[in-house]
Structure 1
Amino acid sequence: MHIFRTDLNLFVVLERIYTQGSITRAAQQLNLTQSAVSHTLNRLRELLGDPLFERHGNAMMPTPFTRSIIVRVRDCLRTLECTLRETSQFDVQSTVKRFTLGILDALESVVLPPVMQYVTEHAPSIDVAAVQHDRHAIESELLTGVLDAVIDVHLSTPESVHRIKLDTDKFAVLCRPDHPRVGQHLDIETYLAEEHVLVTSRRRGYGVEDVELAKLGVRRHVRLRCMHYSVACSVVGQTNLLLTMPKRYAGVLNAMLGNRMLEFPVDASVDLYLYWHANLDADPANAWFRERLGEVFAPAEASTRRRP
C-alpha cells in the first residue's frame, strides 16, 4: 500500500464514523449522502482488510483494529489540517470560517452577547456555534476539530489539552422580592431553614454549593431539581424557594426577572477555564477566537484595548 495511491478522504470518513457512532450523523457532518459514506467505508474496508465497524442496533461499533489506529489517524488528520492553515494568512475581514465552542448552558448568556457584538462588527464572514460538549471526550473533539475551544469549570485533562483560567466567580442566592423570611442580608441559619432549587443536568448527586456546605457539616433541603437556571429563576419568583448560582450569571438573569440577589453565606467560588488543543497553539485563527473569549472576562479597562 502506497500513500500516493490512497485517497486521504477515506480516513476523514473513518474518523467521523468513529466519533459519531453513526453513518447518518457522519454524513450530516461531512455534508455527504449516507450512500456516499457507506461506499467510502466499503472502499476503506477493502484497503485495510478489516470490517472496521460492526452494526449493533443503530450504532456502528468500532472493531479492535479500528480502535488501535484511531489515535494515529486523528493525529495525522489534525497535523495535516494545521499545516494547511499555516500556509494561508488569517485575515479577520475576509476569512470564511465557523468556530464551534463547547460551553455550559449557564454561560451562554454571559459569553455570547459580547463575543457576537465584536464578531459582527469586525469579522463579516465568521460564524460561531455554541454547543453542548461531553467532558469525557474533550481531548478527541478538540483534536479532530469538532470543537475549536471549550469553556468549563476545572477539568482533569491530558497535557495535549491546554487551558487558561478565565475567571473566579462567587455564588449568589436569589429569592423573590417579597420573601417573608429573608431580609436584606442572608445568614447561614436562615439559608438552611429555607427550601431550595438545585440546577443540574444530572439525575442524582449534589451541586457545588452542597459540597461547600458539607465542608461545614450541614445540609440544605432541595425541594426542586431542574436543568436550567432560567426556569429556576422563574420558580423562585413565584415561590419561597431559594436558588444558589454563579454570581455573574445571576446578574444577567436578574436584570430580566427582578428577583432579589444576596450573597451566599459561605465563602465559596467556582473557577472557569478556556480549553483548546496544543496543536492549535500557533494557529492564528484559533488564537484570535481565544482572545475574543478571554476578553469577556477581562477587566473593563482591558476590553477597551481590543484589536481586530
Structure 2
Amino acid sequence: MTSLQLPLAVSLGDPAGIGPEIIAEAWARRDADGIPPFFVVGGAGVLHEAAGSRGLDITIERIEAPAQAIEVWTRALPVLGADDAPYTPGAPEESGARLALFSLVEATSRAALGEASGIVTAPISKAELAQVGFTQPGQTEFLADAFGKAREDAVMMLAGPSLRAVPLTVHCSLAEVPDLLSKELIVHRARIVHRALQRDFGIVKPRLAVSGLNPHAGENGKFGDEEQFVIGPAVSQLESEGLDITGPHPGDAIFTPRARKSYDAALAMYHDQALIPLKALDFDEGVNVTLGLPVVRTSPDHGTAFDIAGKGKADPGAMIAALRMAGDMAARRATDG
C-alpha cells in the first residue's frame, strides 16, 4: 500500500449512481488491494445504504478534519462533514445533485488547502449538475477553473494496464475538431504529457505517439491535409526539442498490440479516438487522470451507470485503480518535492 502523509479526498459523485457503492467496496477491500487512506466528502447515510445494497457490513465514521482520516482508516470509512441526501439508486434527483456538487467543490478545496494529497472524483451526471448551477463541460474543466489554470493546461489522460491515451480535444462535437486543432495546441499539450509522465509516473524518457485525424493519416493529402499542415509540423517541432515522439500514425493502426509496445502514451485528436480503445481494452480498470494541475486528480473512467446502481452489479475495479494511481502519483510528488 502506498504510504501517504495526507489522505486522498474522494468526492461522492451522484448519489443515485454507482459511485457510493464502489467507494464503499473499495474501502472494504483496502487491505487486499493495497488502497491508500482516503476520506469521502459528505454522504455518510448514502454510503451506508449503498454498502448495504452490496451486502457489505462496514463501519462509517464522520470526521471533522481530513487529518483524522488516517487514524480512522483502519476501523471505519471516514466521511468528512454531515451533508447528506436520500439514497435513490437509479433515480437521480435535485438534492442528490446538490450533494454531488458540494462534495466535488469541498474535496477540491481541501486539496487546494494542502489537507489532502490528491483528489479522486466519483462519476457525476453533467445533466443533473447543470440543473443546480454547474456550468463547466465536465470535472476536468471544473478543476482547471478551480486552480486558475487555462483549460488547455488541464490535460485528460485515460490510463489502464494496456494503454495510456490522451484526447487533444475533448468535450466538443466532431464537426468542431478540425478547427480546434492547431500546431500550438498539439505542441503545448504534448509537453504537458511528457512532463507528467516523468513527474507522476516515473518514466525518465517518455515515448509519445501521435495519431492522425483522417483515414490513413490523410494519405498525403488525399483524405485531408491536417496531417501535413498541423499534426506533422507539431511532431517535427517536438522532435527538435528532444522529445521521443512519432507520428502522425493512422488512427486504425496506432492502438494495435504491436504498436502499443512502442510508446508510453498515445496522443489522439478527439475524444472517442482515445476513449474507444481504452474502454475496449481496460474498461474495468480505466482511470481518468488530469495532467497539468498543481494537485493529483484521478477518476474511474466510467459514468454513473444509473441502470445498475444499487443492484450489486457495479465492478469497483476502476475506482480501486483510480485510488491506487492517485496514491502512487501523490507519493512520487512528495518524494520528488
TM class by smaller structure:
under 0.3
Give the number of the structure whose alpha-carbon radius of gyration is greater.
1
Larger RCO, structure (CA 8 Å, separation 6 or more): 2
Q: Structure 2 length as normaliser, TM-score?
A: 0.22
